[in-house]
Structure 1
Amino acid sequence: MLFPEEDVRRKYGLQETRLAQYLTKILGVSSAAIGRGERLRKWKGEDALGCLGNEVQTVMADSSTTDVSSISLCRMDSLLAELAGKCAFSADVYRKAAHTSRRSREAILSELYTSLTPSESAVVTQIILKDLRPLLYPIPQSACHYTSALLEYKSNAVAMLTKESAMHAWDSSGRMSLIFKTRANLEEAATAYEGLANGEDFPQPTVGMPIQIPKCVKGQGPVHSLKSLKGADKIWVETKYDGERAQIHVWFDDEGVPRIRIFSKSGRDSTLDRAGIHSIVWAALGIPHTASYAEEDAQSSNPPPFERGVVVEAEMVAYSDVLGRIDEFWRIRSLIARTAIGVRHRSPPPGPSTQEEAMETQCSLISNGSDGGTRHLALVFYDVLLLDDASLLPMPYGQRREVLERLINVNPGYAMLAERTCIDTRLPNGGEMLRRVFARVVADHQEGVVIKADGAGYAEKRWPWVKLKQDYIPGHGDSVDLVLLGASWEKERARELRVPPTAYTTFYFGALANADELGKNPNRLPHFEVIFTSSYGLDREQLEELIFMVQNCDPAPYRHQMAASLSYTHTLCRSLSPPTVLLGQPLLAELFGAGFTKSQGNHFYELRFPRIAKIFRPSDRPWLDGTTLPELQQIARASVGRERSGKAEDDWAHSIFRPDVPPSPGLHCPVKRKRTEDMWVERLAVIDAKVGSRSPTKRTRIEGPSVRKAVQGAYRENVENEAGPSTAVAASNASGSPRQRVGMLRLDSVTNVVSSPPPRGPPSTSPLPRRRDKDPCAPGPSNRPATPPSSPSRSDNPMPIQPPGNMEDTDYSFSLTPGFYSRTITRSTMLPIRSNAVRGVPGPPDLPARSPTPDEFYCPSVHLDRPLDPVPFVPTGRTLYQFLHNSVVWLARPDGAPRPAWRAASQAVLPPSSRVNTLDAVVLACGWTETPACAWAARGVVFVDDSEDPSGWSLQGTMKELAALRAAALKAGRAAACKPVFLHSMTMLAHDALTETATVEEWESQAICRFG
Structure 2
Amino acid sequence: MSFKFAHICDYLERCEGISSYNPPLPPAELKSRLYRQHATWFASHHQDIDALDEHGTTALLSTFLPCRRKDRIYGLQSASLLKLLGRCLGLSASARHELSSFQTPNNGDLGDCLQRLLKVRGPPPLPFVTLQEVDDALHALASANRFSAPSVRQSFHPSSSIDLLADVLLRLHAVEAKWFVRLILKEFAPVTLNDRSIMTSVHFLLPDLLSMQDSFENACYALRTTFVDYPSRPDPHSRNILRQTAISLFRPTPGVKVSRPGYTKARSIKQCLEMTAGGKWLLERKYDGEYCQIHINLARGDNWLKIYSKSGRDSTEDRAGLRETIKKCLRIGSDKCKIKRACILVGEMVVFSDTENSILGFDQIRKHVSHAGIFLGAENDTPGRPGEHLMIILFDLLLLDDEDILSRSVEERKARLSSIYKRIHGRAAPAESCVMDFSQGNAERRLMNHFAASIACRHEGLVLKRCGVSYLSHGSIAGIKLKKDYITGLGDEADFAIVGASYSAQEAKKRSELRLKFTHFHLGCLINKAALDHDGIKPVYKIVATIAYDHCMSTEILERVNVEGSLLAEPYNEQSSPLTIESDNTSKMEVCFRDPLVFEVLGSSYSKLPGGYFMLRHPRVRKLHQDRTWKDCITFDQLQLAAAEALDTPQDSETQENVKW
Cα distance in 1 between the residues matched to 2:352 and 2:509:
38
Change over 3 Å in CA distance of 1:258–1:527 after alignment to 2: closer
Which amino acid counterpart does residue 348 of structure 2 have in structure 1?
A: E
Cα distance in 2 between the residues matched to 1:191 and 1:491:
38
1:540 aligned to 2:522? no
* Contact persistence 1:206–1:389 (CA under 8 A): no
Quote how far apart the aligned CAs of 1:405 are: 1.0
Percent sequence identity over aligned pairs: 28
2:298 is aligned, of 249, 252, 265, to: 252
1:236 aligned to 2:285? no
Partner of 1:128: 184
Give the secondary-structure state (helix, strand or coil) at the position aligned to 2:154: helix
Quote how far apart the aligned CAs of 1:499 are: 5.4
* Contact persistence 1:527–1:570 (CA under 8 A): yes
Partner of 1:623: 630
* 1:355-400 deviation digits (Å, cap 9, x = unpaired): xxxxxxxx953323421x2221111100000000333111000110
Cα distance in 2 between the residues matched to 1:397 and 1:626:
46
Cα distance in 1 between the residues matched to 2:360 and 2:374:
21
1:226 is aligned, of 246, 255, 273, to: 273
Partner of 1:645: none
Q: Within 5 Å, give how 1:171-320 maps onto structure 2.
A: 171=203, 174-195=204-225, 196=227, 197-198=229-230, 202-230=249-277, 232=279, 234-253=280-299, 259-288=304-333, 302-320=335-353
Change over 3 Å in CA distance of 1:616–1:231 after alignment to 2: closer
Quote how far apart the aligned CAs of 1:541 are: 2.3
Change over 3 Å in CA distance of 1:268–1:127 after alignment to 2: same
Cα distance in 2 between the residues matched to 1:76 and 1:622:
52
* Contact persistence 2:485–2:603 (CA under 8 A): yes
Partner of 2:441: 428
* Contact persistence 2:495–2:600 (CA under 8 A): yes
1:90 is aligned, of 135, 148, 153, to: 148
* Contact persistence 2:394–2:430 (CA under 8 A): yes
Cα distance in 2 between the residues matched to 1:467 and 1:277:
27
Q: If you compute each CA radius of gyration, which structure gives the higher value, 1 or 2?
A: 1
1:481 aligned to 2:495? yes
1:570 is aligned, of 581, 604, 610, to: 581
1:668 is aligned, of 638, 647, 650, to: 650
Partner of 1:407: 420
Which amino acid counterpart does residue 557 of structure 2 have in structure 1?
A: Q
* 1:824-882 deviation digits (Å, cap 9, x = unpaired): xxxxxxxxxxxxxxxxxxxxxxxxxxxxxxxxxxxxxxxxxxxxxxxxxxxxxxxxxxx
* Contact persistence 1:69–1:117 (CA under 8 A): no
1:168 is aligned, of 200, 218, 227, to: 200
Cα distance in 1 between the residues matched to 2:347 and 2:513:
39
* Contact persistence 2:410–2:471 (CA under 8 A): yes
* 1:726-757 deviation digits (Å, cap 9, x = unpaired): xxxxxxxxxxxxxxxxxxxxxxxxxxxxxxxx
Q: Specify every segment of 5 or more residues in structure 1 that has no aligned partner in the other structure, as ranges.
A: 138-159, 289-300, 349-362, 642-666, 681-1012
Quote how far apart the aligned CAs of 1:674 are: 4.3
Change over 3 Å in CA distance of 1:79–1:568 after alignment to 2: closer
* 1:185-217 deviation digits (Å, cap 9, x = unpaired): 233212212321456653311111110111211
Quote how far apart the aligned CAs of 1:492 are: 6.4
* 1:493-545 deviation digits (Å, cap 9, x = unpaired): 535434577432221111111223335x3542221111102235432222211
1:515 aligned to 2:524? no
Partner of 1:63: 121
Quote how far apart the aligned CAs of 1:638 are: 1.1
Partner of 2:596: 586
1:30 aligned to 2:12? no
Cα distance in 1 between the residues matched to 2:412 and 2:509:
44
Q: Specify every segment of 5 or more residues in structure 2 that has no aligned partner in the other structure, as ranges.
A: 1-62, 231-244
Cα distance in 1 between the residues matched to 2:561 and 2:188:
28
Which amino acid counterpart does residue 462 of structure 2 have in structure 1?
A: V
Quote how far apart the aligned CAs of 1:253 are: 0.9
Which amino acid counterpart does residue 503 of structure 1 have in structure 2?
A: K
Quote how far apart the aligned CAs of 1:45 are: 1.1
Partner of 1:784: none
Cα distance in 2 between the residues matched to 1:466 and 1:214:
11
* 1:94-123 deviation digits (Å, cap 9, x = unpaired): 322223xx4164433221111211111112
* 1:250-288 deviation digits (Å, cap 9, x = unpaired): 02116x656011111111111111111111111111114
Which amino acid counterpart does residue 278 of structure 1 have in structure 2?
A: R
Cα distance in 2 between the residues matched to 1:382 and 1:369:
30
Which amino acid counterpart does residue 178 of structure 1 have in structure 2?
A: D
1:19 aligned to 2:108? no
Q: Within 5 Å, give how 1:67-78 maps onto structure 2.
A: 70-78=128-136
* 1:291-346 deviation digits (Å, cap 9, x = unpaired): xxxxxxxxxx5521120111000101111222221111111112112xx6xx3334
* Contact persistence 1:27–1:60 (CA under 8 A): no
Give the secondary-structure state (helix, strand or coil) at the position aligned to 1:442: helix
Which amino acid counterpart does residue 313 of structure 1 have in structure 2?
A: V
Change over 3 Å in CA distance of 1:237–1:93 after alignment to 2: closer
Which amino acid counterpart does residue 107 of structure 1 have in structure 2?
A: D
Cα distance in 1 between the residues matched to 2:477 and 2:579:
54
Cα distance in 1 between the residues matched to 2:321 and 2:456:
30
Question: Counting helix residues as a fraction of each chain, which structure ranks higher?
Answer: 2
* Contact persistence 2:64–2:198 (CA under 8 A): no
Cα distance in 2 between the residues matched to 1:169 and 1:114:
31
Cα distance in 1 between the residues matched to 2:262 and 2:509:
23
* 1:435-471 deviation digits (Å, cap 9, x = unpaired): 1110111122111110112212113232421110011
Quote how far apart the aligned CAs of 1:475 are: 2.8
Change over 3 Å in CA distance of 1:537–1:76 after alignment to 2: closer
Which amino acid counterpart does residue 339 of structure 2 have in structure 1?
A: F
Cα distance in 2 between the residues matched to 1:501 and 1:87:
35
Give the secondary-structure state (helix, strand or coil) at the position aligned to 1:54: helix
Cα distance in 2 between the residues matched to 1:194 and 1:104:
29
Partner of 1:796: none
Range moving further from structure 2, 472-481 or 222-231: 222-231
Range moving further from structure 2, 192-201 or 418-427: 192-201
Quote how far apart the aligned CAs of 1:630 are: 1.1
Change over 3 Å in CA distance of 1:501–1:284 after alignment to 2: farther
Give the secondary-structure state (helix, strand or coil) at the position aligned to 1:399: helix
Partner of 1:353: none
TM-score (norm 1): 0.55
* Contact persistence 1:480–1:591 (CA under 8 A): yes
* Contact persistence 1:440–1:677 (CA under 8 A): yes
Cα distance in 2 between the residues matched to 1:416 and 1:47:
53
Cα distance in 2 between the residues matched to 1:249 and 1:589:
44
* Contact persistence 2:449–2:658 (CA under 8 A): yes
2:163 is aligned, of 101, 107, 130, to: 107
Give the secondary-structure state (helix, strand or coil) at the position aligned to 2:424: coil
1:392 aligned to 2:401? no
2:363 is aligned, of 309, 318, 330, to: 330
Cα distance in 2 between the residues matched to 1:522 and 1:631:
24
Backbone CA RMSD of aligned residues: 2.3
Which amino acid counterpart does residue 42 of structure 1 have in structure 2?
A: S
